[in-house]
Amino acid sequence: MNRPTPQPVIRAASPGTAAWAGLFPALVIAAAVAPVFLPGHDYGLLIIIAAVWFGVTVDSAVRANRG
């Protein structure tokens, strides 16, 4: 497959991307505390979504660190 090279989420040329990247950890934390404040529901899908958010954040940080 001829796919383009993936780019990091945070870019120095766009300062607004840092604000969006700061929302990822906040969303993961909110997903983690939801079962504490709203017990009795099934949060399996929420945990999967939070794991994807975390993975995207880590992957972007690694790519941004490479250059």
What tens digit of pLDDT does each residue of 5-63 get? 767 666 667 777 777 777 877 887 888 888 888 888 888 888 888 888 888 778 777 77
Question: What is the pLDDT, as a whole number, of residue 67?
Answer: 62
Residues 6+ apart with CB under 8 A from 67: none
Give the pLDDT of residue 1.
66
Its domain, for residue 49, covers: 16-66
63 within 8 A of 8, measured Cβ to Cβ: yes
- The number of folded domains in the chain is 1
* Residues 41, 5: Cα–Cα separation, whole Å: 40
pLDDT given at position 9: 66
Does the global pTM surpass 0.85? no
DSSP 15: T
Length of the chain, in residues: 67
Q: Is residue 1 part of a domain?
A: no
Residue 8 falls inside a structural domain: no
